[in-house]
């Protein structure tokens, strides 16, 4: 039973013929004619997608991009010790990268839209998670290429590993002279390249494809050392950035907990908050009465309860803050705070109206009970309140419920008279009178 179960994971029985795999890899490596033009068009499509912030367009560009070819060729060439294929793959990879960068740079130089939308910003901060995506995507890619059951894996790998958008973002960085965008995006492209190639190299060795003789043990050792040095040099910065992202996420979570649980002052309400996880700072803008320095200090002392000891907390006093800084604050921010204050006032007014309505109802009920007690001394208790009647079809009708507990009963005529009096007194035509 166990043997049959583990047989499901065996790959050698589905392995494609070596010559077929080798031919497919070599054909995908070459960038000339059709492949080169398809790459240029794909770069234009991806750049347009980034420019208008369209995820669907970017995904379409990744599907038509032929960039996976030379990258898998690099990994395959290293895996079977084919120096000729490796050189060809590296050369075509460099050509493709250069053409892609030039195309995207030209596009963004000519484009009238220069804003960095979310799709661009998402490609400027690579980390260890991008390494894992590239590595497992590369494993899926070479597995599909080496298997007779290819399915639709390659398009999925092209989308997951996202080779096109980083190159286009790097071009955007060059065109707008924002070098931080260029280096961040190009580093993401290098991560994808290195770890797709590494996954291909590892899987080729696992599948025991025939190796070409390098005629020198030293040459093979040197090639392996070069591979692992490149992998480590690519991996280490991503680990640092990944750790930094985890820390920033933790800071943001703790800061939100702190604000929700502690940032409350009597007769004040929070108008705006800004959490800067990178610089470990929290800025709060309150509206209402003036917050005393002692109260702010007490709030800062509670930061340590949320692992925010080293963070900077700034409390700003709403409109007073804006008045003191009107030269530095935009009209838009002032309007936002005005609108927020207006919304808070409306909410408070609604709450006050509901409270007043309940209070008035209580006073009315007490008054009606006093009047009834004078007319009917046998009255012991009463419930007098608005209610809702619900029928079988779930129709709701507003009504008034009056329940009277009397020590002695009343004649029917007196009950009818009392009901009419209550309808007039309460100004409620729909009234339900119950005697106990």
Query: What average pLDDT does the structure give for the chain?
Result: 79
**Is 40 within 8 Å of 107 (Cβ atoms)?**
no
Boundary residue ending a domain (190, 212, 234) = 212
In a domain, 287, yes or no: no
In a domain, 4, yes or no: no
pLDDT band at 242 (very low <50, low <70, confident <90, very high): confident
Boundary residue ending a domain (159, 191, 212) = 212
pLDDT at 292: 83
pLDDT at 2: 47
pLDDT at 43: 87
Alpha-carbon span 345 to 319, nearest angstrom:
15
DSSP classification of residue 63? H
Q: Domain containing 415: what range?
A: 372-435
Boundary residue ending a domain (179, 212, 245) = 212
CB count in 10 Å sphere of residue 283: 14
Q: How do residues 349-359 score in pLDDT, each as one tens digit?
A: 788 888 887 88
DSSP classification of residue 147? B
In a domain, 55, yes or no: yes
According to DSSP, the residues that pair with 285 across neighbouring strands are 272, 316
Q: How do residues 178-195 score in pLDDT, each as one tens digit?
A: 888 888 888 888 888 888
The rounded Cα 369 to chain-centroid distance in angstroms is 58
CATH number of the domain that 28 lies in?
1.20.1080.10
Query: What are phi and psi for residue 32, nearest 5 degrees?
Result: -155, 160
In a domain, 199, yes or no: yes
* Helix-, strand-, coil-residue percentages of the chain, each rounded to 5: 65, 10, 20
Q: What is the mean pLDDT of residues 292-319?
A: 83
In a domain, 272, yes or no: no
Q: How do residues 327-383 score in pLDDT, each as one tens digit?
A: 444 555 556 666 766 777 788 778 888 888 788 888 888 888 888 888 888 888 888
In three-state secondary structure terms, 424 is helix
Which of 161, 171, 200 has the alpha carbon at shortest distance from 67? 161
CA angle 284, 288, 294 (to 5 degrees): 65
Whole-number Cα distances in Å, 162 to 40, 134, 363: 16, 9, 69
In a domain, 240, yes or no: no
Share of the chain above pLDDT 70, in %: 83
In a domain, 281, yes or no: no
Q: How many domains are there within the chain?
A: 2
In a domain, 364, yes or no: no
The yes-or-no verdict on residue 394 having pLDDT over 50 is yes
Alpha-carbon span 228 to 387, nearest angstrom:
77
Alpha-carbon span 303 to 308, nearest angstrom:
5
């Amino acid at each position: 039973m166990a043997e049959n179960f583990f047989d499901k994971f065996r790959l050698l029985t589905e392995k494609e013929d070596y010559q077929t795999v080798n031919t497919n890899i070599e054909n995908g490596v070459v960038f000339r004619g059709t492949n080169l033009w398809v790459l240029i068009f794909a770069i234009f499509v991806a750049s347009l997608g980034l420019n208008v912030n369209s995820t669907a367009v970017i995904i379409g560009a990744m599907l038509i991009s032929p960039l996976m070819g030379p990258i898998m060729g690099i990994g395959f060439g290293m895996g079977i010790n084919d120096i000729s294929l490796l050189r060809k793959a590296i050369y075509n990879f460099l050509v493709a990268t250069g053409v892609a960068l030039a195309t995207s740079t030209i596009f963004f130089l000519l484009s009238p839209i220069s804003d960095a939308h979310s799709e661009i910003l998402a490609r400027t901060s690579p980390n260890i998670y991008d390494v894992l995506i590239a590595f497992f995507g590369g494993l899926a890619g070479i597995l599909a290429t080496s298997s007779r059951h290819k399915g639709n894996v390659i398009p999925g790998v092209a989308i997951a590993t996202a080779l096109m958008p980083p190159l286009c973002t790097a071009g955007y960085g060059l065109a707008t002279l924002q070098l931080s965008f260029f280096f961040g995006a190009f580093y993401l492209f290098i991560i994808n390249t290195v770890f797709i190639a590494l996954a291909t190299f590892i899987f080729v060795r696992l599948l025991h494809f025939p190796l070409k003789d390098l005629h020198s043990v030293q040459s093979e050792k040197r090639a392996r050392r070069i591979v692992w040095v490149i992998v480590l040099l690519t991996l280490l910065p991503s680990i640092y950035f990944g750790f930094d992202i985890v820390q920033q996420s933790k800071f943001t979570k703790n800061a939100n907990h702190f604000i929700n649980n502690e940032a409350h002052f009597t007769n004040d309400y929070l108008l705006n908050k800004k959490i800067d996880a990178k610089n470990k700072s929290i800025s709060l803008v309150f509206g209402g009465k003036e917050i005393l320095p002692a109260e702010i200090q007490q709030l800062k002392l509670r930061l340590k309860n949320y692992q925010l000891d080293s963070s900077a907390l700034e409390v700003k006093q709403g409109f007073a803050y804006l008045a003191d800084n009107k030269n530095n604050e935009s009209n838009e921010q002032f309007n936002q705070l005005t609108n927020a204050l207006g919304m808070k006032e409306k909410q408070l007014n609604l709450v006050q109206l509901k409270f007043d309505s309940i209070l008035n109802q209580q006073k009315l009920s007490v008054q009606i009970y006093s009047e009834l007690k004078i007319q009917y001394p046998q009255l012991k208790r009463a419930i007098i309140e608005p209610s809702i009647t619900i029928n079988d079809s779930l129709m709701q009708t507003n009504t008034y419920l009056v329940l009277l507990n009397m020590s002695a009963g009343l004649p029917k005529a007196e009950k009818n008279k009392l009901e009419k009096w209550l309808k007039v007194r309460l100004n409620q035509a729909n009234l339900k009178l119950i005697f106990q």
